[in-house]
A and B are shown apart, each in its own frame.
Chain A
Amino acid sequence: MTEAQIPFRCEDIHVAIESKPVVKGVTLNIKGGEIHALMGPNGSGKSTLVNALMGHPSYSLTSGRIFVNGENVTEMPPHERSRHGMFLAFQYPLAIPGVTVANFLRAAVKARVKDDSEMKAFRKTLLAEFERLEIDPAFATRYVNDGFSGGEKKRLEILQMAMLKPSIALLDETDSGLDIDALQIVSKGINTVVNKDVGVLLVTHYQRILNFVKPDFVHVFMGGRIVRSGGPEMAAQLEKEGYEKIEKEVSRIAEVA
């Protein structure tokens, strides 16, 4: 597999918030078709990591490099990272009052097409995605995330992902706050986006989404680092044992070292 065919790679990512180090050296390789789950306790820096990867201005990357489809995007502003194929589903999606979902998505899709003729199919594609994610088409004329329920916001994130067709999707707790039906629909949405050219990094606290979105790798994230990586079985183990056991092991190793 050539470099250009690997949707996502990051090396030794360090992130500081107001000069306090929060992410302390993360390296990830996500190949086409792979789903990576990232699990870790509250406040360990998962959101900080994915936001910094997307180029959030208040999370400064103190070192490290980011590649999308082999291209170095480390110095690019967020919108260019997006146009190069990155997508971030927000843990807390923002409301944009007065801007309808349809207009928002039209602007976003338009920003990445080469010529306007590609916009002809926009309406049809949008309606199809609404149907697939079982969202009432009336949402097209509602204002982005304005007054949406938690679950509706998460569905809209997945709808946006489907419309923008990224190479690498960073999904920050997209499963949180979803009822069981919504979880299945959202999972289906994620699974349809993944193909041999697309990778996913799924930040989650719960095993239950992993029953629908099957991860190839599970990474345990603590104190700003990936402290352990393994196969799908690790998620179940984590759920049973909690982070405490790993934490102890990690600190023992740290003591020894």
Chain B
Amino acid sequence: METNNQKTQTRPVVNVREDYQARYGFSDPDEYFHKAPKGINHEVVAMISKLKKEPEWMRKFRHEALDAFFAKPMPQWGDTELLNSIQFENIHYFLKSTEGTEKSWDDVPDNIKKTFNRLGIPEAEQRFLGGVSAQYESEVVYHSLREDLTKQGIIFLDMDSALREQEEIVKKYFATVIPPTDNKFAALNSAVWSGGSFIYVPPDTDVKIPLQAYFRINAKNMGQFERTLIIADKGSRVHYIEGCTAPTYSSDSLHSAVVELVAMDGAYIRYTTIQNWSNNVFNLVTKRAMAHTDATVEWVDANLGSKLTMKFPCVYLVGERAKAEILSVAFAGDGQHQDAGAKVIHAAPNTTSRITSKSISKGGGRASYRGMVKVYPSATNCKVSVECDALLLDENSRSDTYPTMEISSDDVRVEHEARVSKIAEEQIFYLQSRGLSEDEARMLIVNGFFEPFVKQLPMEYAVEMNRLIELEMEGSVG
């Protein structure tokens, strides 16, 4: 009999159809939350589902996922030491009942406040991002934006609302790209998910503006275990941006999101992330896309902040001529490990992938590139390109690359390049001879290093991103 946590780790995943209601159903959610706000077990999961008034299939899904979470071992690769230091029993898995009431502005660490100020984030938004205010005024902007989209038949909702208002389509795609059993953290997310975005773009519809306002203002609301699902129907195009450059402060230390993308025939999805978690956070995210015939999926992913990030955006190229582009940048500062990379599966002929990874390590920080490219025997005439570029800013910092290629087709063109470099003294002298101080020179070189990423961003994000890199360089980010 299991109720609590990892004692049950070795147990295999149980039958989906078991009657969880009988076994784990709970009758008084509010009371429960007052009693046991931390830790993970079936009662908590039952509670979450009940509070959200979810359909039965989702409730079952969550319980099944929780069993998968218990059954799955911790990943045996990556920074296992840090991973094993996660204290699952010390985390709030559902914060709704207390959100916005428990915290005061005084609880937000000073260094984070300082960073907000230096990034020029307005006061109202600062409070919002600091988790003090539950509402942010520009939500109005988001609503009017949504009206425009609705006219085109685009569905753009937070995941909880989507489950209520668009159950059928959510049910059809939910967890089809990333099943709960994929890995321990995907399982955890599946059990306790809350928030995130749902987007459906009808066939041949071009969403002209990047869908971004929503997440910027909801960076806090989306919580620790958000779940995002984007479906671009045949021939449609959409660009989605999540996150924000301001450090996302969270008193709880585990962020574990799941993001699923489905690009149908001829569709185009770009998914841009700028994430800057406060330095206490474990950021363990599963992102995966299905690219069907002639579809293109682009992950543009920046990882800053956090204690440990493990994130390997993935594309399954399942249709002929599908394309994957993954651009991942990371900045690892003191006490941080950015373990980022990419994964591409070529499962169809004439598919193309390009992975570009750029990382900077500074002040003892560690950046790893971990990549996997798989080409199935049937996937003929494929093109694969992997480029990793690491910049070490000092002697104490570290960079590793773990590239894996499993190529079973002999009709593949592979290009692979990996570089680890330091800033050349000559470059600094060159810039100094033009009147820039040594620090200014380093700053400029670092900005240049990230330029291929930054130029992919919409203007306002690019400006913020550069400012943020500057703050990271000064070592003054919260």
Asked whether any CB of chain A lies closer than 8 Å to the CB of B80, the reply is: no
Is the Cβ of A93 less than 8 Å from the Cβ of B430? yes
Asked whether any CB of chain A lies closer than 8 Å to the CB of B449, the reply is: yes
Is the Cβ of B433 less than 8 Å from the Cβ of A97? no
Contact with B along A174-201 (1 / 0, CB 8 A): 0000000000000000000000000000
Across-interface contacts of A86 in B (CB, < 8 A) = 433
Cross-interface CB contact of B429 among A78, A87, A104, cutoff 8 Å: A78
Across-interface contacts of B437 in A (CB, < 8 A) = 77, 79, 111
Is the Cβ of A57 less than 8 Å from the Cβ of B434? no
| A36 CA to B441 CA, complexed, in Å | 31
Is the Cβ of A98 less than 8 Å from the Cβ of B448? yes
| A58 CA to B448 CA, complexed, in Å | 25
Is the Cβ of B449 less than 8 Å from the Cβ of A79? no
- Give the residues from 61 to 79 in chain A that come closer than 8 angstroms, CB to CB, to chain B: 77-79
- Give the residues from 90 to 126 in chain A that come closer than 8 angstroms, CB to CB, to chain B: 90, 93-94, 96-99, 103-104, 107-108, 111-112
**Beyond A104-B444, A143-B448, is A96–B436 a contact (Cβ under 8 Å)?**
no
| A103 CA to B450 CA, complexed, in Å | 14
Asked whether any CB of chain A lies closer than 8 Å to the CB of B424, the reply is: yes
- Interface residue range, chain B: 20 to 34
Cross-interface CB contact of B426 among A81, A94, A164, cutoff 8 Å: A94
Contact with B along A40-57 (1 / 0, CB 8 A): 000000000000001111
Contact with A along B423-451 (1 / 0, CB 8 A): 01111011111111110110011011111
**Beyond A82-B433, A88-B433, is A107–B444 a contact (Cβ under 8 Å)?**
yes
Is the Cβ of B448 less than 8 Å from the Cβ of A108? no
Cross-interface CB contact of B448 among A97, A111, A164, cutoff 8 Å: A97
Asked whether any CB of chain B lies closer than 8 Å to the CB of A207, the reply is: no
Is the Cβ of B434 less than 8 Å from the Cβ of A108? yes
Asked whether any CB of chain B lies closer than 8 Å to the CB of A167, the reply is: no
Across-interface contacts of B425 in A (CB, < 8 A) = 57-58
Across-interface contacts of A107 in B (CB, < 8 A) = 436, 440, 444
Please give the distance in Å from A102's CB to the nearest CB on chain B. Answer: 13
Is the Cβ of B433 less than 8 Å from the Cβ of A87? yes
Across-interface contacts of A103 in B (CB, < 8 A) = 444
**Beyond A57-B425, A94-B427, A98-B451, is A78–B444 a contact (Cβ under 8 Å)?**
no
Is the Cβ of A111 less than 8 Å from the Cβ of B436? yes
Across-interface contacts of B433 in A (CB, < 8 A) = 54-55, 78-79, 81-82, 86-88, 90
Tell me whether chain B's interface is mostly helix, strand or loop, or mixed.
helix
Is the Cβ of B434 less than 8 Å from the Cβ of A99? no
Is the Cβ of B435 less than 8 Å from the Cβ of A99? no
Is the Cβ of A94 less than 8 Å from the Cβ of B438? no
Tell me whether chain A's interface is mostly helix, strand or loop, or mixed.
mixed
Please give the distance in Å from B272's CB to the nearest CB on chain A. Answer: 19
| A104 CA to B444 CA, complexed, in Å | 8
Residues of A in contact (CB 8 Å), total 30
Across-interface contacts of A205 in B (CB, < 8 A) = none
Cross-interface CB contact of B424 among A55, A81, A87, A94, cutoff 8 Å: A94
Across-interface contacts of A88 in B (CB, < 8 A) = 433
Is the Cβ of B445 less than 8 Å from the Cβ of A111? no
Across-interface contacts of A57 in B (CB, < 8 A) = 425, 429
Chain A residue nearest to B466 in the complex (CB) = A103
List 27 A-B residue pairs with CB atoms under 8 Å apart, sorted by A's residue number: A77-B432, A77-B437, A77-B438, A78-B429, A79-B438, A79-B440, A82-B433, A86-B433, A87-B433, A88-B433, A94-B427, A94-B430, A96-B444, A97-B451, A98-B447, A98-B451, A98-B452, A99-B447, A103-B444, A104-B431, A104-B434, A108-B436, A111-B435, A111-B436, A111-B437, A143-B451, A164-B434
Q: A79-B440, A107-B444, A108-B431 are in contact. List 17 more A-B contacts (CB 8 A).
A: A56-B429, A77-B432, A78-B433, A79-B433, A82-B432, A82-B435, A90-B433, A97-B449, A98-B447, A99-B444, A104-B431, A107-B440, A108-B435, A108-B436, A111-B436, A111-B437, A111-B440
B residues within 8 Å of A by Cβ? 424-427, 429-438, 440-441, 444-445, 447-452
A residues within 8 Å of B by Cβ? 54-58, 77-79, 81-83, 86-88, 90, 93-94, 96-99, 103-104, 107-108, 111-112, 143, 160, 164
**Top 3 nearest A-B pairs by Cβ distance?**
A98-B448, A98-B451, A99-B448
